[in-house]
Amino acid sequence: MSRTPAVIIGYDAVSPLGIDLEAQWRRALAGQSGIDALTRIRPGPDFPVQVAGQVASIDHLDYPFLKPREQARWISPLFKYALLTVQRALERAGLAIDADLAPRTAVTYSSAIGGLDAVLGADRKWIASRSLPLPCVNPNACINMVAGKVSMLTGATGPITTTITACATGLTSMITGAMLIAQDRADIVICGAVDFALVEPILAGFATMNGAYVPKENAPPEAPQTVSRPFSVNRRGFVVSEGAGCIVLAGKRFARERGLNADVEIAGWSMTSDAHHFVAPHYPTVRRCITESIKDAGIAADRIQAVNAHAASTRVGDQVEFDALRDIFGTHMPPVTANKSLIGHAMGASSAIESIFTFLGMQGGVLPPTINHQPDPQIPIDCVTEGSRPVAQEHVLKNAFGFGGCNACIVFRRI
């Protein structure tokens, strides 16, 4: 049975590189890091995590979707970031969700971590003064309320769902959207992911499980901008960051009939479960996920001109991803860009933001660099270290591999 292709008609992101998408892309192409000393919280010098990727304040911006009273209720940054990116993505698409479109507009916008900052704040308030939480705390903490708020404020009344697949959340949100379009359940899907993980328990938890970057004991201090280094011999874990990315999908025929601009489509995808370990990726199912996404796109592996890697800077994860790519592409591996070197790891939002960078790169025929790279003899990879590189990109592979063995890959095609 033939399926309706899903095309990308709008997108927007906020990340440690900025709150304006064009500015973020300029900084990415220039190889500028968005990582700095942790200032969002001040846990003290003995706290194991001292660097982060942080989004600049957006409180001065206009929110057509949020009135001042609602801004006071939605206290987690999740909702501000998500709704801002949705608003801008719809504007970029040139689309307003009217009464006719609403029943055919779905929402799959999600998060991996959710509003834990709201829960933590309420817990501290209770401990300090025995004050009960505000009524808005629980809604802020419910991950599905991100999609719910997007639906309420855009008027979308089609299918709504929240996919939580750890670091793969952004991609699985898009894959779910593509399935809804393929099954003729929706004409438009507002996809994406947002995360704000800069709270003490989450940061410390990642450090104690050897996931987040922690300085080497008795070593000279390193500049924050240099510590996210995917595929490098001296990688020491990921840098936790925050951010959001919204991608608006539409059926290809629907977009054409409405005169909507679409330069990129979802050509193929795959999801697999490692069924192996709660953190460490599993080579066989990672490799199968990549292979199946390329097969689903109906192309041979040599048609992939670039890879936007998951590449979180972990010792095991980077090696497994490289091994899978090497075995699939052999001696003809395409150039690989690792955006987390620039923005850190924004959890579920990472793959949404990185997909948007992929779209921009496909349209401009350029790959942003992987910064801070120190070659690893075990990972002989071409990861665009010389600066942004002109690369014609008809097909690009995007990988995302999450805790719990949640693997997702999408092949994007330039229309």
User: Does the structure show a pLDDT above 60 at 415?
Assistant: yes
User: Does the structure show a pLDDT above 60 at 58?
Assistant: yes
Mean pLDDT across the chain: 93
Identify whether the C-beta of residue 198 lies closer than 8 Å to the C-beta of residue 52. yes
Task: Please state, in angstroms and rounded to a whole number, the distance separating the CA atoms of residues 254 and 238.
Answer: 40
Residue of 282, 345, 373, 395 marked active site: 345
State residue 194's pLDDT score: 97
167 is catalytic: yes
State residue 65's pLDDT score: 62
Residue of 191, 282, 289, 310 marked active site: 310
289 is catalytic: no
Mean pLDDT, residues 395-411 taken together: 95
Identify whether the C-beta of residue 238 lies closer than 8 Å to the C-beta of residue 213. yes
Both tokens assigned to 147: 């999609």
- Residue 17's alpha-carbon distances to 163, 202, 269, 297, 342, in angstroms, are 26, 22, 28, 31, 8
DSSP element (H, E) containing 354: helix 350-364
pLDDT class of 1 with cuts at 50, 70, 90:
very low
pLDDT tens-digit readout, 104-159: 999 999 999 998 888 888 788 889 999 888 878 888 888 999 999 999 989 999 99
Nearest to 385 by CA among 329, 336, 346, 345: 336
pLDDT class of 245 with cuts at 50, 70, 90:
very high
All CATH 3.40.47.10 domain ranges of the chain, comma separated, are: 6-258, 266-414
345 is catalytic: yes
Task: Please state, in angstroms and rounded to a whole number, the distance separating the CA atoms of residues 295 and 309.
Answer: 18
Tokens 């050509």 locate to 267
pLDDT tens-digit readout, 346-392: 999 999 999 999 999 999 999 999 999 999 999 999 999 999 999 99
Pairing assessment for the beta strands 366-367 and 336-337 based on DSSP bridges: unpaired
Pick the CATH number of 6-258 from 3.40.47.10, 3.30.420.40, 3.20.20.70, 3.40.50.1220: 3.40.47.10
User: Does the structure show a pLDDT above 90 at 343?
Assistant: yes
Pairing assessment for the beta strands 395-402 and 306-308 based on DSSP bridges: parallel
Question: Amino acid letter at 9?
Answer: I
Task: Please state, in angstroms and rounded to a whole number, the distance separating the CA atoms of residues 355 and 349.
Answer: 10
State whether CATH 3.40.50.12780 applies to domain 266-414.
Answer: no
Residue of 167, 191, 289, 383 marked active site: 167
User: Does the structure show a pLDDT above 50 at 93?
Assistant: yes
User: Does the structure show a pLDDT above 50 at 27?
Assistant: yes
State residue 139's pLDDT score: 81
